[in-house]
Every structure is written in C-alpha cells, then in structure tokens.
Structure 1
Amino acid sequence: MPMNDSVIVTCALTGAGDTVGRSPHVPVTPQQIAASAVEAAEAGAAVVHIHVRDPETGDPSRDPKLYREVVERIKETGTDVVINLTAGMGGDLVLDADQPLEKGAQPGTDLVGGLDRLPHVEDLLPDICTLDCGSLNFGDNLYISTPEMLRKGAKRIQELGVRPELEIFDTGQLWFAKQLQSEGLLDDPSVFQLCMGIPWGAPADPGVLQSMVNFLPEGAQWASFALGRMQMPWVAQSILLGGNVRVGLEDNLYLSKGVKATNGQLTERAVQITESLGASVATPDEARVRLGLKPRA
C-alpha cells in the first residue's frame, strides 16, 4: 500500500484511563474538554475523539448531559472540526480471579448492553462514534463486547446515520468487523482505527500493523495509533503504510521524556511528522469527504 499523502489527524482528548492524577493537562470538565478540542483543531486536528469524565472526581462517565455540554461548547466557538464520540463505555467487567461466579461482578464493573452504550449518540448524532469490535483482556480486567451486542449496536448506529469508527484491538476483531460488513450492518466507506499496544491486544509491532493493514477490506479508510512513547513513531508507521493517524492525551501524556504534553502540542508534533514525510494534513472538510460524512452544518 503506498504512503498516504493527505493525512487525517485525530486527537483523542482525554479517554477513560486513570491519567488525571498523572498530568495536569488531562482535561476533566466539559469546559476543559471543549477547550482542549479547540486547541487540537487549531493545531491541525481534523477530528477530535471525545470521552467525558465526572467533573468532580475525574472518573470516566457515560452521562449524556456531559457529552451534550462538551459538543455544544465546541460548536459555540465556531471551530470547524469533526466530532467523534466514544461509544465504548459500558463494557467493563471486573471479576474475582478465584471465585468469579460466586462473587460476581466486582467494584469497577460498568457493563451494559450494546444499545445502552448509545444514548448520547442518539441524542447528539455526531459525525462519528466508535464501535469496539470485540471482547478483550484489557489490562487486568475484561472489556466485553459480544457479537450480538455488536450486531445490535452497528444496526442502530446505521439507522441513526452516524459513521461508526471500528475500533480494532486484535486481529480477530478485524475479522469480525469484516463479518459485520458482509451482513450489511456497515455502510461504505468503512472506517477503521487499529489500536496497538494495549495490554493484551495487538502489540505495537510494525509487522503486526502491516498484517492488519493487509487484511483490511478494499476501499476502507483507516488510521492507527500506539500507546506511550510509541505514539509519535506510530504516526510515521501509519502514514508510510497508507493510513491516517491519532495522537492525544488518551494514549500518551508526554511530548518527550519527562516533558508533559498538551493535546495541542501532541497534535502539532503529529503535523510536523506528517509534513516532514512530504504529506499534507487534511482539513476537516477533506476528512468529511473521505470518511463519507455529511457536510458541515
């Protein structure tokens, strides 16, 4: 696959990880998340990927009111950026290792059905929402997304006219995403995010990325990212293999060793890498065309 010469940059602003106490730059409140989205857009991001957090505790949240406030605050600024809302919250299952059935779900569990992960998407109809395409040993716990949950979620997202970004954490999930496509539950162009280096999914290895790219369906739009210090090398890896890129504080807190980053700084660095490879950075309107999105309202 030839190098991508027009790169869509996504900035993942805050995520759901336990990062708030590790960097003062991780946005928590709707006001902070929206301001960080604007900062990233001004630095060159065509897309912002949005989680929300409890403003009091910093814990991850599924509250539709928080999503609405973030999106409204971004739109009030007049900033042109593609809105990508996570729909991956609600899949966490924590079990006792010795007595999983006897003790049942443990503190930290937030497990709901596929449709119950979508009320904020139904409310706001963003340009894009994510669809995490399978269950995974996600660090020390489980992320649950069964085939039937995914079928129901994909069908509802399709009915809403929102573009799903298919989050792929391992090769079997890519296989199942292609199954969803064969069942008519995904519209063209299919949009993939290849998520590398998350314990214990696909490792951040160039050979693994190459094999996953080779397995993508024809005509797919795709991006890839890797965690931590591999974030910026993965910008180059993705572009060289023909893909788009994702950076941001969801996946990495540092600009360089010991230097805490902002979302704007991470986006600027991704833009620099892109341009140094001889590629251009896609505008939001260019991203909308390539991803099959509606024109900006």
Structure 2
Amino acid sequence: MTYQDYLDQKPVILTAALTGGVHGKDANPNLPEQPDEIAREARACERLGASIVHVHGRDRHGENDTGRLQAVTEAIHDRCDDIVVQHSTGGQGPLRERIKALRTDPAPEMASLDLGPFKRDRHIITDHTRDNIDTLAREMRRRNITPELEVFNGGQLAEVTRLAEDGLIDRPFFVNLVFGGANFTPPRPGAVLELVRTLPEGSEFNLLATGRHQRPLTTLAVLLGGHVRVGMEDNLYSDRGVPAESNAQLLERTVATVESLDRPIATPEETRAMLDIEGDTVGGPRPGDELAAGEQAADEGSACPFLAYRSEGDGRSFDHERPYCTVADEFVSPMQADVCNDRFDFDHRSHCDVYREYVESETAPVPEEDD
C-alpha cells in the first residue's frame, strides 16, 4: 500500500464498526446494542458504501455476550444485500468464549484477530497470548474465515510475519492499524507513516483511530493508499462534545472525504477480491470443536466458590455486575476471574494474597529519590 495506490485510484474498503464492547447507551443513547438495532445500522452503512461491518454481541443489558452473535448475523443477513460480516474475537473473556464468534451458522466471512494484549483501566490486561492467537488463527483457517489482523502497536507487526511463517495466515494480510486510546499506538501522523513503511510485504492496511483522531488519521490513510474503519465503536461524537446520531452519520462524512480525494469506494465484490475472501465459510458445530487448544482444560473446571458478581452502582449500562472476590474483599478484573474459575482448586487464599500485593504495588506512590 503506497501513495501510488492513491494516485492510481485504488478502491477504498470502508468498514463500519457499529457497537463495540466497551461503551454503553449511557455514553451515547444512539449506540446500537441489540441485533435488530445493529442490523438497521448495518443496512444504513451498506447503502452509503460500507462493504464490511465489524460487530460484537451484547445481551439484553448491553453486556458483552459472544453467544448473541448468531442473532446479530442473522439479522444483518435479513436486512442487508451483500455486506461482509466480520465478528470480533477480542475482548476480555476467556478463549472458550471468544472462539464462539467463529462458530455461528453461517460462519462470518471475516473475524478480527488481536495480535497481542493491551491494557485498559488500571488493572485489566487483555488475555491475548500466542497460544490463544494461534488457536483462533487455526480455527479461522479451519472454517475458511478471513482474519483482520489487529495491530495495537508497532511491535505486533512481527506477529504477522510469525503467523505467516507458521502457515496460519496467507497473503494478502489485512492489517488493521489501531491508534489512540488504552496503550495503542500514539495517534500522530508520523506514527502512521512509520507503521505503513514497515508493513510486511503482501499487506493491505486498514486504519482506525479513536475519538477526535478518527477523522484526520483516516484521511491520511486514504492518501497513503490504505483503507479505513469508522463507527461508534471507535468514536461516539460527530463533533467535539456533540454525540453522533448514528454510525451512518460518521460514515457519511468519511465517504465525502474519500470522494473528494478522488478514490473510488470498494463494493463488497471488490472487497472480497482484494482480500481473497472466498465466501464459503464453514459454520456451526464441527468434529473436533471441543478439542481446540486451550478450551478443554478451561471447561473442565468448575466456577470458583469464592467469586461473586456484584454491581459497583456506577450506572454504566455495560458494567452492571463485576467479578468480586469474597476472600480478598475487592472487585477483580475479568481476567483474574477467569483464572479463578478455571483453576478453582488451587490455594485461593494464597493466590488472593499475591493478587492483593500486585494491586498494592501498582497503586503505591513512587518514593522520592534522595538528593
């Protein structure tokens, strides 16, 4: 992907990220959460030129629920003509939950594949180990699902090469460069240029930027011959302090920018050709599903008897209840809860003491150096 691609008027793939798994309607009441809401937004974005929709599943309270992706996919197919559906396999849940995003019937034509962990809030680190990444990549290959490779910082580009060398992904690599928020790549034009320069050969790059950085950095991506993702998962505002009315509103201004720069917008058919999406995914249960690496051991454990789920009472629609350790007498991260649920038979009190020490070390003031 180069400036020459821009000059040659290579079609731009537009992805609409409709809902995400972090914000709730308390942050913007126009955010779609339920299958029919998501499908209506998908249809509106398809009419404007989006050829891919990136979706998460949420339950009736707006909480993350991978199991709801089946209903979301069915609703989108009912309303849309030919759009490519891309499921998220990200988030903070255990592998056995994330892999369900690949087992809907029909399976999605695409799915996101996070190439490493990132931090959120004070004590949350997403659980994207190499074992988990490889398990999801193998499952995508097994079901003929095209991965979108999520790169949260420059070091994760090395994972693209590793996965290719291990035979888990094929060219063209659809690399999604993520800027802003959490500990993603700093949202600066120079950082965009550097990552684009270091893309592995055979890559098509997509770019998303959070919040106020969405508009300028996606415009830069268009000039560099890349593709763009916009939507309310990444940005809840149409202007500074003005909540977006819909995903279509955000996409509409992106379409205007692309057209003003004289690049055509890719149709779903052109998108499938550029990304080598074959469209014959394998959905539903398959022999060996229960043997996917990392899942069987996790499913054999029972829930930790010391864990409860309690509301913090902060009113966030996406966080009604959080895991609470009754031994440590504190809320714990979703990842910590997964560890406890999967390995409940270890010395829990000892483990909680270790976890408490970790929290205290993270929050302790840094001592001043002696003069």
| TM-score normalized by the length of structure 2 | 0.71
How far 1:38 moved relative to its partner?
0.9
Instruction: After superposition, give the CA deviation of every residue in 1:146-179 in whole Å (9 maximum; x if it has no partner).
Output: 1111112211211111001000101121112221
Partner of 1:138: 120
Of the three residues 275, 283, 286, the one matched with 2:270 is 286
CA 1:129 to 1:283, structure 2 compared with 1: closer, same or farther past 3 Å? same
Of the three residues 96, 112, 128, the one matched with 2:110 is 128
Q: Secondary structure at the match of 2:149?
A: strand
How far 1:19 moved relative to its partner?
3.4
State how 1:160-179 maps to structure 2 within 5 Å.
Answer: 160-179=143-162
Of the three residues 88, 97, 119, the one matched with 2:100 is 119
In the alignment, the residues of structure 2 paired with residue 138 and residue 209 of structure 1 have an alpha-carbon distance, to the nearest angstrom, of 22
Partner of 2:35: 30
How far 1:198 moved relative to its partner?
2.3
Query: Which structure has the larger Rg?
Result: 2
Residue 227 (1) aligns with residue 231 (2) = no
Q: CA RMSD in A?
A: 1.7
Q: Larger strand proportion, structure 1 or 2?
A: 1
CA 1:273 to 1:139, structure 2 compared with 1: closer, same or farther past 3 Å? farther
In the alignment, the residues of structure 2 paired with residue 121 and residue 129 of structure 1 have an alpha-carbon distance, to the nearest angstrom, of 7
**Contact 2:20/2:56, CA 8 A, preserved across alignment:** yes
Give aligned-pair identity as a percent: 34
CA 1:153 to 1:191, structure 2 compared with 1: closer, same or farther past 3 Å? same
In the alignment, the residues of structure 2 paired with residue 259 and residue 25 of structure 1 have an alpha-carbon distance, to the nearest angstrom, of 12
Residue 41 (1) aligns with residue 22 (2) = no
Stretches of structure 2 that go unaligned for 5 or more consecutive residues are 282-371
In the alignment, the residues of structure 2 paired with residue 131 and residue 78 of structure 1 have an alpha-carbon distance, to the nearest angstrom, of 24
**Contact 1:167/1:193, CA 8 A, preserved across alignment:** yes
How far 1:116 moved relative to its partner?
4.2
Letter in 2 for 1:163: T
In the alignment, the residues of structure 2 paired with residue 27 and residue 78 of structure 1 have an alpha-carbon distance, to the nearest angstrom, of 16
Of the three residues 256, 268, 290, the one matched with 1:272 is 256
Letter in 1 for 2:199: L
Residue 11 (1) aligns with residue 16 (2) = yes
Stretches of structure 1 that go unaligned for 5 or more consecutive residues are 93-109
In the alignment, the residues of structure 2 paired with residue 269 and residue 19 of structure 1 have an alpha-carbon distance, to the nearest angstrom, of 23
Of the three residues 171, 175, 189, the one matched with 1:192 is 175
Residue 74 (1) aligns with residue 64 (2) = no
How far 1:292 moved relative to its partner?
0.7
How far 1:282 moved relative to its partner?
0.8
Partner of 1:61: 65
Q: Which aligned segments of 4 or more residues in structure 1 are displaced greater than 6 angstroms?
A: none
Partner of 1:252: 235
**Contact 2:14/2:229, CA 8 A, preserved across alignment:** yes
Instruction: After superposition, give the CA deviation of every residue in 1:117-173 in whole Å (9 maximum; x if it has no partner).
Output: 222312232110010001122343211201111112211211111001000101121
